[in-house]
Structure 1
Amino acid sequence: MTDTDTWRLSASETVARTTSGDLTAEAAVDAALTRMDAVNPNLNAVVVSCADDARARALDLDKARASGAPTGPLHGVPVTIKINVDQTGYASSNGVPALKDLIAPDDAPLVRHLQDAGAVVIGRTNTPEFSFRADTDNPLHGRTHNPWGKHVSPGGSSGGAGSSIMAGIGALAHGNDIGGSLRFPAAANGAVTVKPGLGRVPAWNPSQTAERGMLAQSMSVQGLICRTADDLHLAMPTMIRPDARDPFHVPLPWRGDALDGPIKVGFTKETYEFDLHPEVSRALDMARDALTDAGYQVVEVEPPHLRDCGMDGYRTLMGEVLSLMGPDIEKFGSPTIRAIFDEYFEQFAPYKDTDILRMMAKRTFYARAWSEFLQDYPLVLCPFLPQPFFAPDRDTQGAAGVREVLGSALWSYSMNFMGLPAACVPTHVAELPQGPQPMSVQIVARRWREDLAVDASAAIEARLGRMCDLLWQRMG
């Protein structure tokens, strides 16, 4: 196979070839690195190259296979890791210049598990400062661009992951999500992802000097951004393997029990006080029709307490951020990120004192209401954002910018507050006045049933196609 063919392979296709002997791990990694050299200078998605380590590891994998050693489920798959997660010998800078020399003494659980499964880390992807924007730019590594064009943000905070995976740099891209940081980049770039639920993927950075706040622990999750839903089914069983360093990890298998009869999908276009764009409405209709054709029973619903849950969740998180992260943001953050946080605190007035404790308790009320709701509707098809994805730096443009970027993202951060899994899958490319961009929908699932959300994403993809194929035609 030529490099042109090889870098286009999905993770599933790569594993099929590396385990059969049709493709070496060295060839798979070399193709990904060649692609990175070709497109990354215009994207700035991968900001730290791991090329030398990757080539050495690929050779070791090939030697082990030649000697008769068993291959892992991700044998030879090129992957990227976000720069806010520990990888031995590399800085976990989180986009902050003051942390540029914070070298990881050991691998985070997900990095260890991916490599134990045979994956090869080829680079580390960009994030905004403190990984707390839905756009990706920082004073340490600069701006990441969307491969669809500079008219649209690559999303954040896993913007480097979303940009790189869709441009063909590697077959799997690690990211994380505390309020939408897997789904924003997936939606912006036309990728597919699933935000795992609470406790699903073990998390811990050995470079940490203190534990994160309790709400951050409850809302933040680790995951993958992919070009195809099948790759989530391939790789997520590796991601959810247990690790003793996360004492609250939930050791459940990836696949849950089969459900009786056609799966009922709650369907809603509700965007509350925000206008629903015709292209978002069209995306929801296309996804609904795809699921119906695939045998799902789609029913219009009114989900419980969504707006209140979203606002209470974000105001509670902002209260914790103000108390625990505020001093570091003020001391180490750039003027840009400080101004953005000032606007966050203005629009999402942080809960304080006993109010924050009451809202952390009320989180159970919202989660219970949704747990009961999801007994009747195991999946919910809903908007992710009410409007097409925003332009770069929109969140630096005062109250209106922050309202468009995060204020309208009720369907995003409410799922983090309740700890529910939520997938994001593209439907079509909208030809908008500002330029072309992919449109996506969100699929919420019952607790610990990420597999159901990925199944539904695969059904939509089977009907509507992969966005990467359209993107690569445009990229040439």
Structure 2
Amino acid sequence: MALEKPLWQWSARDITHGIGMGKVTAVQVTEAALSRMQDVNPGLNAVVENLADQALSEAAALDAADGPRGPLHGVPVTIKVNVDQKGLATTNGVAAFAQNIAPDDAPVVKNLKKAGAIIIGRTNTSEFSFRADTENALHGRTYNPWGKHISAGGSSGGAGSAVMAGIGTLAHGNDIGGSLRFPASANGAVTVKPGLGRVPAWNPSQKAERGMLAQSMSVQGLIARSAADLQTSMPALIAGDPHDPFHVPLPWRGADIAGPIRVAFTKSDFGFGMHPDVTTALEAAAAALSDAGYAVEEVEPPLAQETGDVGYRTLLSEVHTLMGPDLRQHGSGDINSIFDEYHRQFPLFHGAEQVKMLAKRTYYAREWSLFLEDYPLVLTPFLLQPFFSAGHDLQGAEGVRDALGHSYWSFAMNFVGLPAGNIPTHIADLPQGPQPIGVQIAGRRWREDLILDAMEAIEARIPPVCTKLWTHMEA
């Protein structure tokens, strides 16, 4: 029972039910989350701005309110430092942006507050939020609660580390090429990258509009310890905001699908080779889904590597044009050397070629849409090897390739705007230490609910890894 566990271990459902039944108060839950932060964050540097006073004030107001504010009443959350929170700096992990004070909350922050969530702190990101590891000169390095032998992932590394260590029940993050799913994979968390237009996005502090491809590929989301908590929280996140004119106002749950849901299962490694522990994780997920009544079939999705390759090259070409001057002026030598290697491994498109690739995006999206008519869900690898060590992407061509260069299963989902989740299904016992291994489940457009249903079915057979992590942290 939830009452037998420390409050910082409670799920979102436990918290809202406990507060509703009068067993605990929002202040007690918040105090427990802040105490956990005080205990473990010094060794992790996941939260880089502590909002304890504000959080306790908000919790007291919730306790004094006449009834629950919303479906996340009293649930402690963290916000990534690349999203606006009124009166606080949106640094994006860059020292030059340390005084970029937000004039108002971003829509995702407003939606969480409206739902009754309590923001306890802001989490670290990689420099310019564009790296699969989390370190920057302004806030320092974030560490993985499983140990320093594993990177915390990026760019939402602070979010992934925090939520798995018990600092907050939910962690906000975002994803343009894998920045929700990389940290989830690294830390053993669960996430679903929403599809294009699902969660409203806009930063009131921004000085100019983002590039069109960045608008089309970047999404806001949450990292949690279980799929169940995402089912509880994601419906609140999708509430519309007129600042995002391309938000899609659809209900959270779509139409039921008759018969057993078909799942396309692939072990394609694109010639890079797959570690045995990744194979074990994939097969465990496939077996769990089959046991739950899903029709799992080994079949290859269309143009997966090409979709990912063209998608990432096209994004990098846009970033080079629009962000390149800021990267050179304000970025560290490390981030610039990483980008130089990105460009070697993913050559930029120029001029008319870039425009043609942007147009071809619709072709890839159509092919995937047709495939998903037959297979509403797709079970794929995420990373092909266990997660890399901290700073590995600074080790030249091999490091970048290990960190991002073979991540076509990640890039493809962003390029075509499809939802895709990550869930751990295996803990590898490696010489350097234990390590969670995650798999990816992608799905039909705007059917994040189908993905989370499948993840909950897996969790019923393969429990979340957080309990093992907490035992490991105490050892």
Aligned match of 2:120:
122
Using the alignment, how far apart are the partners of 2:69 and 2:109 within structure 1? Answer: 17
CA contact (8 A) 2:112 2:237 kept: yes
Question: In the alignment, is residue 48 of structure 1 matched against residue 49 of structure 2?
Answer: yes
Aligned match of 2:424:
426
- Please list, as runs of the form range in 1=range in 2, the aligned pairs for 1:203-282 lying within 5 A after superposition: 203-282=201-280
TM-score by length of 1: 0.98
Using the alignment, how far apart are the partners of 1:146 and 1:318 within structure 2? Answer: 28
Aligned match of 2:25:
24
Per the alignment, in what secondary structure is the counterpart of residue 442 of structure 2?
A: strand
Residue 428 of structure 1 deviates from its aligned partner by: 1.7
Aligned match of 1:74:
72
- Please list, as runs of the form range in 1=range in 2, the aligned pairs for 1:94-105 lying within 5 A after superposition: 94-105=92-103
Choose the corresponding residue for 1:176, options 174, 177, 197: 174
Aligned match of 1:139:
137
**What are structure 1's unaligned runs of at least 5 residues?**
none
Matched to 2:26, the amino acid is: A
Using the alignment, how far apart are the partners of 1:236 and 1:4 within structure 2? Answer: 24
Aligned match of 1:466:
464
Using the alignment, how far apart are the partners of 2:435 and 2:253 within structure 1? Answer: 33
Using the alignment, how far apart are the partners of 2:341 and 2:164 within structure 1? Answer: 31
Residue 71 of structure 1 deviates from its aligned partner by: 3.0
Aligned match of 1:302:
300
Residue 69 of structure 1 deviates from its aligned partner by: 3.9
CA contact (8 A) 1:19 1:71 kept: no
Choose the corresponding residue for 1:319, options 302, 317, 320: 317
- Deviation track 1:75-127 (CA, whole Å, cap 9, x = no partner) reads 00000000000001110000000000101110000101100110000000000
Per the alignment, in what secondary structure is the counterpart of residue 306 of structure 2?
A: helix
* Divergent runs of 4+, >4 A: 1-4
Task: Quote the RMSD (CA, aligned, Å).
Answer: 1.0
- Deviation track 1:391-420 (CA, whole Å, cap 9, x = no partner) reads 111110111111111111010011000000
CA contact (8 A) 2:69 2:114 kept: no
Choose the corresponding residue for 1:345, options 329, 333, 343: 343
Per the alignment, in what secondary structure is the counterpart of residue 138 of structure 2?
A: coil
Aligned match of 2:395:
397
Residue 3 of structure 1 deviates from its aligned partner by: 11
Question: In the alignment, is residue 334 of structure 1 matched against residue 359 of structure 2?
Answer: no
Matched to 1:48, the amino acid is: E
Using the alignment, how far apart are the partners of 2:256 and 2:184 within structure 1? Answer: 28
Residue 4 of structure 1 deviates from its aligned partner by: 6.2
Per the alignment, in what secondary structure is the counterpart of residue 32 of structure 1?
A: helix
Using the alignment, how far apart are the partners of 1:428 and 1:23 within structure 2? Answer: 34
Matched to 1:83, the amino acid is: V
Aligned match of 2:15:
14
Aligned match of 1:196:
194
More moved, 177-186 vs 455-464 = 455-464
Matched to 2:28, the amino acid is: A
Residue 296 of structure 1 deviates from its aligned partner by: 0.4
- Deviation track 1:437-471 (CA, whole Å, cap 9, x = no partner) reads 00110001000000001111111111011110110
Per the alignment, in what secondary structure is the counterpart of residue 140 of structure 2?
A: coil
Matched to 2:39, the amino acid is: A
Aligned match of 1:58:
59
Residue 177 of structure 1 deviates from its aligned partner by: 0.2
Using the alignment, how far apart are the partners of 2:348 and 2:251 within structure 1? Answer: 37
Using the alignment, how far apart are the partners of 1:253 and 1:467 within structure 2? Answer: 30
Using the alignment, how far apart are the partners of 1:19 and 1:157 within structure 2? Answer: 35
- Deviation track 1:210-245 (CA, whole Å, cap 9, x = no partner) reads 000000000000000000101111111111000000
Using the alignment, how far apart are the partners of 2:127 and 2:3 within structure 1? Answer: 38
Residue 54 of structure 1 deviates from its aligned partner by: 0.2
Matched to 2:195, the amino acid is: G
CA contact (8 A) 1:306 1:414 kept: yes
Matched to 2:106, the amino acid is: A
CA contact (8 A) 2:62 2:68 kept: no
Matched to 1:127, the amino acid is: T
Matched to 1:426, the amino acid is: P
Using the alignment, how far apart are the partners of 2:30 and 2:356 within structure 1? Answer: 50
Per the alignment, in what secondary structure is the counterpart of residue 367 of structure 2?
A: helix
Using the alignment, how far apart are the partners of 1:156 and 1:19 within structure 2? Answer: 36
Using the alignment, how far apart are the partners of 1:199 and 1:87 within structure 2? Answer: 21
CA contact (8 A) 1:3 1:31 kept: no
Matched to 1:148, the amino acid is: W
Using the alignment, how far apart are the partners of 2:266 and 2:114 within structure 1? Answer: 41
Residue 302 of structure 1 deviates from its aligned partner by: 1.2
Matched to 1:306, the amino acid is: A
- Deviation track 1:334-360 (CA, whole Å, cap 9, x = no partner) reads 111111111111111111111111001
Residue 5 of structure 1 deviates from its aligned partner by: 1.2
Residue 42 of structure 1 deviates from its aligned partner by: 0.3
- Deviation track 1:417-445 (CA, whole Å, cap 9, x = no partner) reads 00000010001210011211001100010
CA contact (8 A) 2:15 2:29 kept: yes
Matched to 2:14, the amino acid is: E
